[in-house]
Structures are given as structure tokens and as C-alpha cells.
Structure 1
Amino acid sequence: MRSLLLFCLSGFWLCTRAADKNITDFGAKGDGTTLNTAAIQKAIDACAGSGGGKVFFPEGNYLSGTIELKDNVVLHFQKGATLLGSTDIEAYRNLDPFTEGLGIDVGWALVVAVDRKNIGIEGAGTIDGQGSKLKAAHILKDIRPEGQRWGRRPFLLRVVRCTDVQVKDVTLKYAGAWTSHYFQSKNIRIENLKIVSVGVAHNDGIGIDGCQEVTIRNCDVESGDDALVFKTTSSKMACRNIKANGLRLKSNQAGIKMGTESMADFENIQITDCIIYDTRNGGIKLLSVDGAQIKNVIISGIKMTNIRTPVLLRLGSRLSVFRKGQDVQQQTGLFENVVLKNITAVSADSTQLKSASGILITGVPGHKISGITLEKIHITLPGGGAAGEAEAMVPEAIDQYPEVKTFGPVIPAYGLWLRHAQQIRVKDLEVVTKKEDQRPAVFMQDVQQAQLTQCSFRAAGTPASIITIRSSDAITLKKIKAAARAKVLLDADPASKEGVRYNEGR
């Protein structure tokens, strides 16, 4: 046994490299009060200068400002080790400034890598940004309104134009702004992360911004803002070839989101087998408003509970530019081959809208949202919509920030609302309400080439119709079932009636 132990220990040390460094050897102190920025950076630089390896954080609380990862360096956090972000805003640097979707200048970070390769963060330890304490200290010195000053606070982790990146096993906590932001990077693997980042605004969990060849697996995210969010803040590099699965997502905003920053495309993206729960905003939101094409996207095997507004798909024409002097305004984008299937959603009783709606899909005049398939989707809503809400006029909000509330306070359908849309295929959609709802189950306006097949709408009430269609053409309805005692199943205006084909299929 002793010989075996010696052999194993020998094997362990053979696996370490001469370039590996321990931050305490460079003067770092894990007392939670000593500022270790310079000591940690010296350890990283020495490791990189010796050909690369691991920089070890032993047990302790290591206070620091911005530290920069270098080529071939992995930060390894041993159990009980915590990198604490300083509460002094001046301890942070911005190595890649840009403007986010609300027009705020951002980019400061605690851990940052710019134009690096073969880097990583791993281990059983924690990176804690102390976001609430940082904010409290910040607002004592910065008297601007919170909506302007928040961008000065640091992200927890930023990876910018890097190749071969791995982040695994660690816990990321309490960022000052976004928790993790990966920009224009390739070959990224994110797995087994625990993220708890709440307490201040804009605490996005995992942010993928114009990255390619990305795998995200088995992460547990509790975020103050969007939990898993894809962005393209530059037109120069698409989000492409991305797979995410096995995620648990809790959020004060959306569970899964593409956009709003959406200049370059989102394509070849698969998100499967995820749980979304306790969101205070949407469950799944796909938003192209700055020129992006959203294409070849599959989201399947999703279970949502206690969420607000299960699905929002938006094609808009905000057309913002986020990297001033580096980019130009794009044309309005499009959707193509976007599939949502095998999804169950149970809405919270309180939602952003006056009366809850299940699926909102809208383009803008002259730019139809298209190429969308919804299949095997079951949604439970609170109900309670009044008859007068069926006549609601929904704002176009052509150039506005896209949110569920942007189209509120009332949507004229409880199940599926479609506007400025074409080539929409819906099969096996079931929407159930807990209380009576006097709105139609489906409302279409300016819609062409839409198919609804095997759909069931189980809301009690006496609405004027189950399906309302306005200014539309080439609409196919087949095997539609409804529980409500409606005056008519279909209410189509004269311009639409001739273009509707209805087959009970019973």
C-alpha cells in the first residue's frame, strides 16, 4: 500500500510543470484585506514567461483588482480559495471598452484576457466580485444616476478575442455588472459552473458575444439579469456552432436570450435539456433588432416553471452600433429555420403584461419575422383576460429596446400572438389557463403562410372567437380544439377569409 501511495504521489508531481506557480510565493496574502493585484499578476506573468502552466490559489481570501490572464496559463483555485474583487472602483482596468445595448460604456473587469490563447480557470474555489459592497462604495463617489454609473462597475470575467478557453468547476459570485462575457473568441468550453450573481442590476450569468465553437454543459446559474445570453456587439463575428445542454437557469430577467445586442448573426446553435425556473421576465427570448440573422437555431427539451411570458420572438429595426468608430449600422435582419420544440412552461401568476400571454412573435412593417417552427409545446397560464382586451392595439415599437413590456400592457390573445410574420409552422401546441380568459387563443395580423396543426386551447370563457385573423393570407388551420364557448371558432376579416383553409380533421 505504501509503495502504491508513493507511486501515485510520484505520478501527481510528474503531472505538474516547472512553470506552475503559487501566488503566495509572490507575496499574495489570503487574509481578505491585503490588496494582492500586483502579486497575483507577477505569478501569472512568471508562469507565462516560463512556457505556461497553472497558477495556484491555495485556501484563503485574496483581495484583488484587475488581473490579466496570459497565454498558456490556467488559474487553479483549490478548495477554500476565493479571489475577492476589491470594493475600490479605481482598482479596475478596462482593456476592451465598448457600449452595451442600453447605450452605457462598459468593459472593466476583475479577471480579463485579451488576444490570448490556451487559457483557463478551474478548480473547487470561488471568484467573488462583492457586487453589493462595490456598488455601495461606488455610489458614495459617483453622483450620476444609477442608469448612467452602473457601467463603470466591473464584470467578473471577460474573455476577449481568445482561442482555446476552458472554464470549469469554479463558482462565480456577485459580479459588479455582467458575471462572464466571452467576446469574439473560439474553441470555448464552459462546464460544471456554479453561478450565483445577484444583488445589483445587470448581473447577466453566461454571456456569449460573437463567439464560435462553444460548448456549455452542466452549469447551474442564478443571475440577477439574463441567465444564458447570446449577443453580437460587433458585426464582424457571428455567434456560430454553439451547443448548450444540461443547464439550470434562474433569472430576474430571461432564462435563455439572444440579443438584444444583435449586429452579427446567430447560427448553428443548439440548446437542449435545460430547466428554467423562477424568472421575473421571459423564459425564452430571441431578438434580432440590430441586423442579425438568427438561423439554424434549435431549442428543445426545455422545462420552465414559475416564469413570466414563456416565449418572445422579435425582429425589429433598432439598428444600434455598440463599438463606436469600429463598426457601421446594419440593415434589418431576419429569422430562418428557428425551431422550438418539446417545451413545457408554467407561468407565474403575476406577469409583465396585464393578462398573461404564452407566445409573442412579431416583426415590423416591411420586415416579416419568418422561418419559425413551434412543435410539441405545452403552456399553462393564469388566465383572467377580459373581453375588451381582445381589441387591444399593440405598439409597433419599431426602433425600441425589445422587451415583453414594450408590447404591453395588453396582448389581444392568450395563447399565440403573431404579427408581421410569414412561414410559421405550429404543431401540437397546447395552452391551458387556470381561470377563464375572454380573449382569442390566437391572434394573427399581417401574416402569410402560417400553419396551425393539432393545437388545443383549454381556456374556459365566452370569447368572440378562438382564432382572430386580420390582413393575412395563406393560413392553414387543421385539428384545432378549444374548450371555450366562443361565438365562432374563426373570425377573419374579408381581406383574410378567402386565404384561410380550415380542416377540423376529426
Structure 2
Amino acid sequence: MLKTCLSALLLICTALSPAQASPVKPILINITATGANGDGHTLNTIAIQHAIDSCTALGGGIVQVPAGKFLTGTILLKSNVTLQLDENATLLGSTDIKDYQVIDGFKDGLGQQMGYALIGAVDIQHTGITGKGTIDGQGKLVYASGGHQRRPFLVRFVRCDTVNITGVRLTAPTAWTLHFFHCKNIQASNLTIYSRGLGNNDGIDIDCCEQVVIRDCDINSGDDAICFKTTSPYPCRKVSVSNIRINTGEGAIKFGTESAGNFEDITVKNINVAFAREGGIKIFSVDGSHINNIAISDVEMDSVNMPVIMRLGARLKTFRDGDAKQPPGSITNISIKNVNVKHGTWTGMLISGIPGHLIENVSLENIHINIPGTGTAADAAVVLEEKPADYPEIKMFGKIIPAYGLYIRHVSNFRFNNITFTSDKTDERPAIIGYDLANINFSKWKFPASGGNGPVAIISDANKVQMKNITLPKNPKTFLQLGGASSGGIVVPKNLTVTTDSSVPENAVTKQ
């Protein structure tokens, strides 16, 4: 039956070939013409793949999925073929893990085998997925059938050029929802993603890609919503992400964890985060990547743990056979501005390099963060370990952070301008704790009333740190507590009190 349908289809398409048809119309193949059945029970992998293969063989065009529920295992897109899902059309992932193929496999940050996919594309160009239909991975059922070890992605593009995915609804993956690896010239827009219920349910992963535009999407994900990765030494660069609405069980905007290649020239703007359980803006280089020239702006967050975290570490993992380990990388030339957080928890910002490897040249401007104000004096005494080789995450240093506003160490050339903290209660921790600092400018900071008797800021081993235009409800007993024999060039407002320990050189502090 399939052979008969396919023969008839080829005759029709030949009749409409560019040599004979005028005006030229793109080839359109409805998957029912190759034998697909939308009853939700018939496995259609072969029929759908025949439609795609036939379309590319005839020069390309559209493979149409009409209204109905079409069950399928792994299907592979081909060059010059667009998969079009009509309204009320659903591609259902098979619940049998045996129906899935691995596509360019690799290991993730936890060392697990990845790369299986429901819809895949490898080494092709001019392809995509459009329409008003749905791709439903039936992830929980796949996982129950043995998908714990394979965990198929929903949609995966590998080394593709010129990809357009727009309009469709993507739901219920077993692992990541939409993964682009080593692709270029990507357009992804007006997507609705719902990926909840299993671990590693990322929304969109942009991995070693360049010339990418992601815009106007709704993402409700169990794991990171928008995640920039480099699982190989190739860079991720020239990416624009805008107008994204996010609700996530992990991070909203994340760079890393897999960070073997560089991240360069990336802009993220107009982001609305309803909830982010494990971080708002997360920038991690731990496997040797150089993160450079990143601009993030106009971010509204409602409820989020740890609104901003940056981590330069030295885990130094590889993810693909043959890749060599690299030395620690860098984080430099970062701009984050116009961020408003209604309900933050833990602490507002955590920024940590490691000894000998500083985060450099960072600007944070127009930031407002509200915190619950539940920190205690005991919390303020907690000392955070360095943990240079650990998996980077907001909980890597523990759930208690000794500062409510900013914990910062191993950094150079930072500018903080117009930063406001508000608090539901009076927090007993310092607003700022920092050490190993150089060339730091704190300007136009506003703090809530303190619930403790300790200093507002504690810094040590700091050189050339300027604090000006500081607003407090009332002047505290001690504004700044300064330590460290290498401290010097500290400038603070003349109306605020500074205490120093015995190691601090004379004339280390200037008031003006």
C-alpha cells in the first residue's frame, strides 16, 4: 500500500516540477499520501520519513502534517524540506524507547549519554518546522519504557545551516526540548514550550551556534529555559534573544554549564520571568570557555532564587571523544542593566572567580532587587568555600549566603551603578561581602534598614574601591569593615564610618 501511494505521489510531484509548472509552486507532500495514519496508535515513522525523503529528492518543499495524532519514532529532516504542522495536528513520540535513534551523541555535564531525538536533522541546510500544530514527546511514558538511559530530546538540529522553526507547540520531552548544536543562521520565533515533569527538561539550548535569533516565545520548563552551551570547542556567538516569557524550575537565562567553547557577542533583552527556582541570570565558565561581550537588559522577574550569579571555575570537563581539556577560561566585558526583581530570595547577586582567575570588566546598572529579609547574624558568619572544580549552580556554596545583597570575590574592573535593594523584613546580614577586589566602583546604592548591629559592607584585600552616593535609612554604627594587608585606595562617603583591622595599611581609606 505504501509503495503504491508513494508511486502516485511521485507522479503528481513530477507533474508539478519546475520544468513544467508555471508559475512554480513548492512541492507539498501530505504525509497521509505516503501512508501515515492519524489515529494516535499506528506507528508512522516509515511513512513520514518517506514523505521527507521524497520531498528532498524532488528539490525540496513542504511536508504537511494534517489534523490528527500521528505516532512516530525518530524522523530525520532533510535539506530544503520544511515540516508543516497544521492546526490540530500532533506528532506523538512513540512510547517505545526502541523507536529512537541517537544523533551525534555526546556526554552532558553530568556524564550521561545524550543525543537521542524524536525529530532530528544532521548536516543539512534550509530546513525547519512551522505551523500551529504540536510536537508531543510523551516523555513520561518514554521514560517509563526504558528512557532513563537514553532520554530523547524532542527536536535536535546538528551542524545545520539556515533553520527556521516558528509557531509550533513543543511539549513533553524526555530530556531537552529544542537543541541546536553547531548550527548557523537560525530563526526561532513564536514558540510555545511546555516541558515539565522530568529532569533535564530544558526549553531551548543554543550549543556552539552562530547567527541565531530567538524571539517572542513562551517557555514553561522544568529545567533551564534559555540555555547557552558549548559541548565542544566551537564557539557560541552572534546570538540575539528577545521578548521571552519564562516560568522555570531551574534557571531563566543560563550560560554553561557545559562550557568547552567560547561565548561571544550575545544579547538578551526584554525577558519576563514569572518564576525561576534556581537562578535568574546565570553566567558560568567552568570548562575553559572565554565568555566575552555579553549584554543582558530589560529583565522583569517576579519570584526568583538568586537573581544574578556569575561563576568562573575550573571543572575542566570534556563532552566528546577526542576533545582536549583546557585551562581555566575567562568572563569579561559583561553588561547587565535594567533588571527588576519583585521577590528574590537567598541573596541578590553572587559573583565568584577563583584565585588567580578573575572575572573582569563587568557593568551592572539600574538593578532593583527585593529580598525577604530572613537572614540572621549566624548566617552572616558563614564562610563560603572556593570549590573551583564543582558543578556550577546557585546551591554549590550552600543554601546560606552571608550577604543579602552582593557576595563578590576574585574580580577586577567592576562598575555598579544605581543599585537598589528593598527588604520585606530587616535582614541581619551585611549588604555586601567581598574580597580579592580591584578597581570596583559602587555608585548610587540604596539599602534598606538593617536588622543587625554589624557593618553594611565587609571587604578585604581590596584595591581601588570607590563607594559614592550611598543612601541608607539612617547612618549605621559601621558602614564599612575593611581588612587585608593588600587593601588600599578605598574611597567612601565622608559621613559614613569605616573600621579597619590591624593588617590594613595606614591611609588605605579616603573619605570624600
Could you state the TM-score of these two structures normalised by the residue count of structure 2? Answer: 0.90
- For 1:98 and 1:59, the matched residues in 2 are separated by 35
Q: Which residue of 2 aligns with 1:175?
A: 173
Q: Which residue of 1 aligns with 2:384?
A: 394
Q: Which residue of 1 aligns with 2:194?
A: 196
Do structure 1's residue 483 and structure 2's residue 473 form an aligned pair?
Answer: yes
Q: 1:364 to 1:185 in 2, by over 3 A?
A: same
Pairs aligned (count): 476
- For 1:245 and 1:239, the matched residues in 2 are separated by 17
Q: Which residue of 2 aligns with 1:439?
A: 429
Q: Which residue of 1 aligns with 2:236?
A: 239
Q: Which residue of 1 aligns with 2:105?
A: 97
Specify the SS of the correspondent of 2:387.
Answer: coil
Shift of 1:346: 2.2
Q: Aligned AA for 1:165?
A: V
- For 2:475 and 2:399, the matched residues in 1 are separated by 26
- For 2:24 and 2:144, the matched residues in 1 are separated by 42
Q: Which residue of 1 aligns with 2:17?
A: none
Deviation string, structure 1 residues 366-397 (Cα, Å, up to 9, x no partner):
11111111000000010111112222110211
Paired residues of 1:390 and 1:438 also in contact (CA < 8 A): yes
- In the TM superposition, what are the counterparts of 1:95-494 in structure 2 within 5 Å? 95-138=103-146, 150-235=148-233, 237-325=234-322, 327-347=323-343, 351=345, 356-483=346-473, 486-494=476-484
Q: 1:409 to 1:15 in 2, by over 3 A?
A: farther
Q: Which residue of 1 aligns with 2:68?
A: 60
Deviation string, structure 1 residues 380-420 (Cα, Å, up to 9, x no partner):
01011111222211021100100111112321210011011
Deviation string, structure 1 residues 139-180 (Cα, Å, up to 9, x no partner):
xxxxxxxxxx73401000000000000000000001010001
Shift of 1:295: 0.8
Q: Which residue of 1 aligns with 2:509?
A: none
Shift of 1:15: 8.1
- For 1:486 and 1:392, the matched residues in 2 are separated by 22
- For 2:435 and 2:33, the matched residues in 1 are separated by 68
Q: Aligned AA for 1:223?
A: S
- In the TM superposition, what are the counterparts of 1:75-94 in structure 2 within 5 Å? 75-94=83-102
Deviation string, structure 1 residues 314-373 (Cα, Å, up to 9, x no partner):
100001000022x1111111111100000001235xx5xxxx100000001111111111
Specify the SS of the correspondent of 1:491.
Answer: strand
Deviation string, structure 1 residues 412-467 (Cα, Å, up to 9, x no partner):
21001101111111000101111111111011111111110011111431341011
Paired residues of 1:87 and 1:133 also in contact (CA < 8 A): yes
Specify the SS of the correspondent of 1:499.
Answer: strand
Give the share of equivalent positions with the same residue, in percent. Answer: 43
Q: 1:497 to 1:336 in 2, by over 3 A?
A: closer
Q: Which residue of 1 aligns with 2:14?
A: none
Structure 2: gaps (5+ residues)? 1-20, 496-511
- For 2:213 and 2:125, the matched residues in 1 are separated by 17
Q: Aligned AA for 1:256?
A: I
Structure 1: gaps (5+ residues)? 1-12, 139-148
Q: Which residue of 2 aligns with 1:3?
A: none
Paired residues of 2:462 and 2:488 also in contact (CA < 8 A): no
Paired residues of 1:127 and 1:171 also in contact (CA < 8 A): yes
Paired residues of 1:314 and 1:402 also in contact (CA < 8 A): yes
- For 2:98 and 2:226, the matched residues in 1 are separated by 29
Q: Aligned AA for 2:412?
A: Q
Shift of 1:16: 7.7
Specify the SS of the correspondent of 2:282.
Answer: strand
Shift of 1:494: 4.9
Q: Give me the CA root mean square deviation.
A: 1.6
Q: 1:344 to 1:496 in 2, by over 3 A?
A: farther
Q: Aligned AA for 2:305?
A: R
Runs of 4+ in 1 over 6 A off after TM superposition: 13-16
- For 1:498 and 1:290, the matched residues in 2 are separated by 33
Shift of 1:66: 0.2
Q: 1:440 to 1:51 in 2, by over 3 A?
A: same
Specify the SS of the correspondent of 1:407.
Answer: coil
Could you state the TM-score of these two structures normalised by the residue count of structure 1? Answer: 0.92
Q: Which has the larger radius of gyration?
A: 2
Shift of 1:503: 3.1
